[in-house]
Amino acid sequence: MPYTYSCAHEAATTGIPIARAMVINYQSDIRAWTHDLQYMWGDEILVAPDCSPENRTTVWLPEGTWYDFWSDSIRAGNQECICTSPQNLLPLFIKAGSIIPMAPLALSTAFIHKDSLTIHVYTGRDGSFTLYEDDGRSEYYRTRREMRTTRFAFIQSIMALDIGPAVGSYEGAPSTRAYRIEFHGLSRPVCMNVNDRVLKFVSSVEKARILGEGLVWNKEQKILSVIIKSVQANIDLLIRERDNCDEDRSQR
């Protein structure tokens, strides 16, 4: 919902829709005109509805690198591929460099716990995303300009995620926030600092939460989870790879 809500704000302020025909994002590629049954959901997510009885559909992946949302398998772009998926799973692909914020399950935007965020970073290229927030229930964002934005930027060359300070406010805006940052597509565990503080590897996400912070490497999924205890929302956070940590990696 944080991702879609941010896209909805962009749609309201600029007119660009959330669900976008491929040609909106890829105007210079003729294939964008012919693959009119698939579409982009915002800038980062490609949706390829499958209505066939065989549960197979042909998907055009534009230039770049793409992740299967459900399996995390990586596919090269600039090609067509046959996608097979169960009836209960909508084929979704995330382009490399995407930053997708998510929140715990809630009944509506009015009940989202905004003091905790999961940030999915799909590595492979630089990327950025601006998170938009308001109270989720009123029009004060329009009548009183009560809203808040947070800028996320991923820098592939130094394997770093920069979380900028929150700008603006609204009634009920949390002053602190806890993060679970998941780096997808890694070939090995990566040691990280948050600002100048060293993060240690632990055995599970649950243990990291008990300790308040930590790194968790999922060898099967190739995902590194970075758990950060509640920090002030108005400060800049830089989560970055650090060198000389072979000993830490050997413990994984």
Please list, in sequence order, all residues whose beta carbon lies within 8 angstroms of the beta carbon of residue 94, skipping any fewer than 6 positions away.
44, 45, 46, 66, 67, 69, 100, 120, 122
In whole angstroms, what is the distance from residue 114 CA to residue 247 CA? 36
In whole angstroms, what is the distance from residue 209 CA to residue 230 CA? 10
Please list, in sequence order, all residues whose beta carbon lies within 8 angstroms of the beta carbon of residue 53, skipping any fewer than 6 positions away.
none
Q: Which of 95, 97, 103, 104 is nearest to 41 (CA)?
A: 95
Q: Which CATH number fits the domain 2-95, given the four candidates 2.60.40.1180, 3.75.10.10, 3.30.750.24, 3.40.50.850? A: 2.60.40.1180
Asked whether this chain's domains 2-95 and 99-250 adopt the same fold, the reply is yes
Any idea where the domains of the chain sit in the sequence? 2-95, 99-250
State the CATH class of domain 99-250. mainly beta
Q: Which of 118, 229, 233 is nearest to 183 (CA)?
A: 118
Q: What is the pLDDT along the chain (252 residues), one digit of tens a residue?
A: 999 999 999 999 999 999 999 999 999 999 999 998 999 999 999 999 987 778 888 999 999 999 999 999 999 999 999 988 777 888 999 999 999 999 988 888 888 889 999 999 999 999 999 999 999 999 999 999 999 999 999 999 999 999 999 999 999 999 999 999 999 999 999 999 999 899 999 999 999 999 999 999 999 999 999 999 899 999 999 999 998 775 455 445
pTM above 0.85, yes or no: yes
